[in-house]
Amino acid sequence: MKNFIQKFQNLAPKSKSTTRPKNDSKSPASTSGTSLDTIPPELLSNILSHLPSKRDIFPLLLTSKRLYHITYPHIWKRLESNIHERSTSSLSHRYRKTGLRRLGDDITDQVYNLNKDDILGFKYLKHIVFWAADLDAGSVWIDSGLFGVVCGQIKAGRMRLRLLEVILERPEQVCHEAREFLSVLKEYSKTWPQKLKIRINIPWSDQFSEFIANNFRLEDITNLRLRSDVDIPSDGVGEDVVEKTIDNIKRLTNLLQRLPSLKILYISGSENRCERVPTLVQPLLSELSQLQDTILGLKRVQSLHIYGPLFHPSFFVTPPENVKKLTFTRCFSWEWWRQFSQCPFSEVEELELYVDTDWIISEWGSPDDIDMRIQGQNFVYRMEHLELKSLKKFKTDRWVRLDFIPEGFFDIVVANNPGLDEESRKNCEIMKE
Angle, CA of 331, 332 and 333, to the nearest 5°: 120
pLDDT tens figures, 63-109: 787 877 777 677 678 888 888 788 754 444 444 555 676 665 555 54
State pLDDT tens for residues 294-338: 999 999 999 999 988 888 888 899 999 999 999 998 776 888 888
Quote the pLDDT of residue 256.
97
Decide if 314 contacts 369 (C-beta within 8 A).
yes
The model carries a pTM of 0.80
How many H helices and E strands in the chain? 17, 10
Alpha helices per DSSP H over 360-421? 361-364, 370-373, 409-416
| Residue ranges of domains in the chain | 2-18+25-72, 77-189
For residues 299 and 344, what is the distance between their CA atoms, to the nearest angstrom?
15
Q: Is residue 25 over pLDDT 70?
A: no
In 3D space, the residue among 334, 353, 368, 359 whose CA is nearest the CA of residue 400 turns out to be 353
pLDDT band at 45 (very low <50, low <70, confident <90, very high): confident
The pLDDT mean for the chain works out to 79
Contact status, residue 349 vs residue 390, Cβ threshold 8 Å: yes
Length of the chain: 433
Q: Computed from CA positions of residues 147, 148, 149, 152, in that sequence, does the dihedral angle turn out positive or negative?
A: positive
